[in-house]
């Protein structure tokens, strides 16, 4: 009896170990990358970029490797470093806090964004996490006020850095959330419509405030809807490998063509 009890306990511990090991490995990898990035961000000879957004940004990788790979074709002799401040399930109101407070995410501690040494800040829309608790019109006004505060604070603390807006790939009205969220066709269309409205508001804000805009959203449309090839087949929300490549190429091309890296 004791033998079987011991065997059951051992088996349970083994299962827990197997489940937690990949998570811990991912955390360790993020810690290693963040440590390397933090060291590079203190290197005055490197051009330093921070990506800032929600999980759509996080999917570009902790050091934006695909973007860096594209940038290398334009700047083969330049030292460029990217740090990803992309946080899943966070909206534009949370973004304001990240500027001045330490952020704990997936076991990694991110220093306040405005305490980092950076040359270029790329702000994504956070539209994948809309302010659904508010009526749409009010939510868009809150989004604008939050962007006002973010831009004002960044200019106040870091007056010399460049700011660029990024509008990410379009969601699909027919496939959004398939594989991860149970939605009726009507509810799916409502969710996508709300996210698109916040994306377009982000675009309009950039245009009306003369902020350089990487408009991946419009370029990713196919027959008026999100291109399924760019969507992760596991959830049909986040970018697939092809989506990551597409976004990264657009970011690198825009930065180069607009002379934003020096």
Q: Which two tokens stand for residue 215?
A: 């408009």
What are the residue boundaries of the structural domains of the chain, listed by start?
2-257
- Are 85 and 50 within 8 A, CB to CB? yes
HEC string of 206-241 equals HHHCCCCEEEHHHHHEECCEECHHHECCCCCCCECH
CA distances from 159 to 46, 114, 118 (A): 19, 11, 11
pLDDT at 45: 85
CA distances from 85 to 15, 35, 69, 124 (A): 32, 14, 19, 10
pLDDT at 44: 76
Say how many C-beta atoms besides its own lie within 10 A of residue 183's C-beta. 15
Q: Which two tokens stand for residue 154?
A: 């960044």
**Per-residue confidence of the chain (262 residues) as pLDDT tens digits?**
544 444 344 344 433 443 444 444 444 444 455 554 454 555 778 999 999 999 999 999 999 999 999 999 999 999 999 999 999 999 999 999 999 999 999 999 999 999 999 999 999 999 999 999 999 999 999 999 999 999 999 999 999 999 999 999 999 999 999 999 999 999 999 999 999 999 999 999 999 999 999 999 999 999 999 999 999 999 999 999 999 999 999 999 999 999 999 8
CATH of domain 2-257: 3.40.50.1110
Q: Give me the phi and psi of 241, to 5 degrees please.
A: -60, -45
Q: Give me the phi and psi of 103, to 5 degrees please.
A: -115, 125
CA distances from 149 to 25, 26, 54, 87, 97 (A): 37, 33, 18, 19, 11
- Alpha-helix runs per DSSP H in the chain: 2-41, 55-58, 65-74, 92-100, 136-157, 185-208, 216-220, 241-257
- In our burial notation (b when 16+ CB lie closer than 10 A, e otherwise), range 124-161 reads bbbbbbbbeeeeeeebbebbbebbeebbeebeeebeeb
Q: Which two tokens stand for residue 54?
A: 């929600």
């Amino acid at each position: 009896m004791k033998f079987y009890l011991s065997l059951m306990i051992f088996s349970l511990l083994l299962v827990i170990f197997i489940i937690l090991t990949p998570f811990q490995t991912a955390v360790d990898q993020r810690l290693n990358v963040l440590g390397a990035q933090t060291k590079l961000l203190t290197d005055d000879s490197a051009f330093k970029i921070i990506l800032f957004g929600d999980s759509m940004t996080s999917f570009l990788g902790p050091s934006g490797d695909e973007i860096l790979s594209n940038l290398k074709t334009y700047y083969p002799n330049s030292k460029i470093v990217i740090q990803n401040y992309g946080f899943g399930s966070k909206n534009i109101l949370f973004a304001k806090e990240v500027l001045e407070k330490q952020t704990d995410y997936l076991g990694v501690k991110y220093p306040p964004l405005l305490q980092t040494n950076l040359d270029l800040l790329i702000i994504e829309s956070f539209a994948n996490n809309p302010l659904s608790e508010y009526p749409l019109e009010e939510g868009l006004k809150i989004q604008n006020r939050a962007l006002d505060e973010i831009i004002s604070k960044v200019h106040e603390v870091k007056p010399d850095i460049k700011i660029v807006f990024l509008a990410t790939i379009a969601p699909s009205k027919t496939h959004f959330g398939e594989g991860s969220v149970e939605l009726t066709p009507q509810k799916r269309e409502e969710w996508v419509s709300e996210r698109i409205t916040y994306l377009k508001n982000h675009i309009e804000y950039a245009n009306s405030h003369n902020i350089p805009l990487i408009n991946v959203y419009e370029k990713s449309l196919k027959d008026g809807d999100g291109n399924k090839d760019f969507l992760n087949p596991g959830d049909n929300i986040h970018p697939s490998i092809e989506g990551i490549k597409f976004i990264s190429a657009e970011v690198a091309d825009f930065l180069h063509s607009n002379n934003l890296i020096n």
